Amino acid sequence: MAPTLYMIHASPPVRAVLITAKAIGLDLTEKEIDFFQGEYLKPEYLKLNPQHTVPTLVDDDGFVVWDSHAIVTYLVSKYAKDDALYPRDLQKRAIVDQRLHFESGVLFARLLRITKPILFKGKTVIDDADRDNMLEAYQFLNTFLEGKQWVAGDFISVADYSLISSVSSIETLVPIDEEKCPNVVAWQKRLEARPEYEANRKGREEFSVLFNSKLAKK
């Protein structure tokens, strides 16, 4: 029996899990939550995940875990044929973990500062300060990628999947400056050429349509 993923395609963290699952050849039973009908607040979902976030994974033995970073490392550790995407080598793993924490604590946090007011408060303009903070996050990522193919070095990892899910989404609202962040643009193109990236396309488009439809037209 396949693990079950409670999800919304437009969610970048959900897509990080979908990309990872595709990369390791793992089939997931996808259960899409109707966000606008408040299904994430229903008692049966709160019992699984009291934080009522997506994604939430229920493994075939009933084990439940949420937060995309915890899910992707769990899936690779349990289901992947090797440790390539999340190395057992402590130093390599430490770099992957740092990049995952960067995505969670910096890049995705800044994404939320932009998107939550649009989605929940009817905001129609992105503040200059929030835009500048996102541009700074791109520049951090550009530095991480200096002289490297992938965010943790010469090997692709779950950190790449986590970061691309967010970067490919927010850059539809705050474009990347190719002159200032050429490494990020090149990295994004490398990922887009990989077969597992297909798991990102539908949700990225939904994200772009949803949020751009709510912003004031210039």
Residue 3's pLDDT band (boundaries 50, 70, 90)?
very high
User: Full-prediction pTM beyond 0.95?
Assistant: yes
- Which pLDDT does position 216 carry in this prediction? 86
Q: How many domains does the chain have?
A: 2
Which structure tokens are listed for 23?
């990369």
Task: Looking at the structure, tell me whether residues 65 and 147 fall in a common domain.
Answer: no
| 126 and 194 fall within a common domain | yes
- Domain identity same for 137 and 114: yes
Residue 218 lies in a domain: no
Rounded-to-10 torsion of CA 105, 106, 107, 111: 80
For residue 11, indicate whether it is catalytic.
Answer: yes
pLDDT at 218 over 70: no
Q: Which of 29, 48, 79 is the last residue of a domain?
A: 79
Boundary (domain end) residue, out of 19, 49, 79: 79
Choosing from 11, 162, 166, 169, which is the catalytic residue? 11
Q: 1 versus 143: which is more confidently predicted?
A: 143
Contacts of residue 204, Cβ cutoff 8 Å, sequence gap at least 6: 15, 168, 169, 172
Q: Work out the angle between the directed axes of helices 12-23 and 68-79 (0-180°, nearest 10).
A: 10
Residues 57-71, mean pLDDT to the nearest whole number:
98
> Are 52 and 141 in a shared domain?
no
Task: Tell me the residue range of the domain where 147 lies.
Answer: 90-212
Residues 73 and 94 grouped into a single domain:
no
